[in-house]
Structure 1
Amino acid sequence: MPSVSPSHYTMDNAPLIGVIGGSGLYKLDNLEIVKTVNPVTPWGPPSSPITIASLSTPEGPVTLAFLARHGPHHNIPPSNVPSRANIAALKRIGVKAIVAFSAVGSLREEIRPGDIIVPDQIIDRTKGVRPSTYFDRTMVGHAMFGEPFDVQLREFIVPHVKEAINTFKGHINPSDEPRLHTKKTVVVMEGPQFSTRAESNMYRLWGGDIINMSALPEAKLAREAELSTDYDAWRVDAAPVTVEEVMKTLRTNAELSKHITASILGAVHTAVKSGQIQGQTGQMQYSLMTPHKEVGAEELHRLTYLLPNYFNYPDPAAERRSRSRARIDVDMDDYTGGEEHAPRGRQ
């Protein structure tokens, strides 16, 4: 991997907003796909190519980035999603804020099928199978996580989501006004199996409102990468009795999420660009505990990829390759006797 420096940190016309969700989200009517990029991060490739697209808004076109969490064909199970690569790749291309979408199960009767939830808290029930930090080697970092989702972004986005829901024509409950729930707690379980009834009752006692397998470690990693995050979810389980009913709910809510995406992202982009949403830049400054001189060169280079404001270290592998080429050149000079001893043509 070439050495990283802040001057090479973002792509041209970088997208400020990243969207994580299903691959269908970037198939919007007012969206023009510009290109796809395939970054390879120090934590491997992301779960899908990143689609760079131009979204038409009343204020003019804005550039966005879309990433399919479970792969282009939904072939990556929750426990295997390369979340560190996903977040690092979005940060690398210039994203400042992430809006993530996912389907969830409901733990409360008032949260109906098709409702949209913007949670503000998380209960982590993953089993440590998923790498959930960039600081798992020598550099120790303790990110603040009391508010797992960006408060400014959440408060900004809620009225825009409400307006988008109210203009959606094909809701799963057409005879009832679609509902938006805020300030809810999402329980993140490992899966891939769903919860037992006893576990669901326990989560309710703990204060859980919805449950899924995707919000973590995305939110933790985004905080370490100093990215603003908001998480929008829709309920899909209403005691359906057939697979057909489940799939109908999924399809309808996928269309709703696309409608919300198309409706709100222009406003989010403007707010981030203008500084109305200030983001998380600077949040890790006092969370990094280990002196750099105590950390290996390769680890410092990996962190340079993610946090160039605090790290600026070249790729040691590239330096080794450069030294190796220099040795080969010297050896060849010794073999030929140097330029002054090169064989001459016949006089």
Structure 2
Amino acid sequence: MDGRFRRNDVFEYEVAAMFPIQGSSHAPRPPADTQPSGAPFVARGGPPPRAPRHRNKRVKGQLPPQLRRPVTADTVRNAALLMLHEKCRGLRECATNVGVSKWTLANFVDAEGKLTELGRKIDTGTLLAPGDRDAARQPIEHKTVLKPEDFDLADKRLGRTVGKMSRTLFCDLYGYDHGTVFRAYGKDGGITDWGRRQRDAALALQTAESSQPAAGNLASPVASRTDAAERRATAASLSALATREGIALGYWDDMRFLRLGKAGAKFAGDVDRTHGHWRIRPAPGGEYVLAHGPRAAEHIVNILRLHGRPELNVDYHLWKSEDGRSIAAVPKAGDPPSDAPLAAQAS
């Protein structure tokens, strides 16, 4: 059969135009080369493709961002009045009327229209609402260092259930740095791995700083003898470990300074013990704080020999104090410091 009887697109289009199907609502389709430029491809025999639907998903209890307003004392009071006089059906409708999300409003007003603990603080001015602070142009502190009490507050307030608040509202209400809180806590209010490490380090530093003995306190003779025995045992342990690692260190035993470790070795630093922690001072400078523990001597020698090296961050969480004078060293979970000698690790 010669080529003029081959069934191509143009031939099919011409035949369909001459003999339309009765009852068909579809107009004949032109061949691909006769369609307008940029027209979508239409599959043969099928309906034209539908444009994709783009729906703006709304989370229940939340307003679109463009409709939200900063929380003020008037916002809290008006919402409480609306709920108290049953002018709206539930917190969600009330929140829409005052221009905030349901979850935000639930921090300040309960389902019966009564002020919560936070709501009473906002109402009395004990706590300044973000909108009122912005209107008064009062500066807000953006805390970047979280203390144990800051973590306790965040654990209590952050979350996505009724009565909890978002990280943004938490920062605006209490004066925290957004980047720090967003790194320490997830969207659901759970603490992150980074936040957990920072909290553990902050607790260790607080324990070390708050356990100083009160001035004028006198230990009993029994306690003094026990403490002296512990100091001698610690000195012996430090000396053995430092000798094994090939370093020398200084140890303050009460008012005496003892040089321990390998004779003639390079001096790595000194250490002394207070009532609640160890203070480790490397020879190049700086100070580490370490909590008491059964393996404290091993950690002391390990910190002195690793000072200034990246391996220190592998074995310990390091947390700088607020005044910047000391660094809390918290051993990471897992195996204790390596028992291999320093020379063997360097090779």
Normalised by the size of structure 2, how large is the TM-score?
0.20
Normalized per residue, the structure richer in strand is 1
Give the greater-gyration-radius structure (CA).
2
Higher relative contact order (CA 8 A, sep 6+): 1
| Higher relative helix content | 2
State TM-score, norm by structure 1.
Answer: 0.20
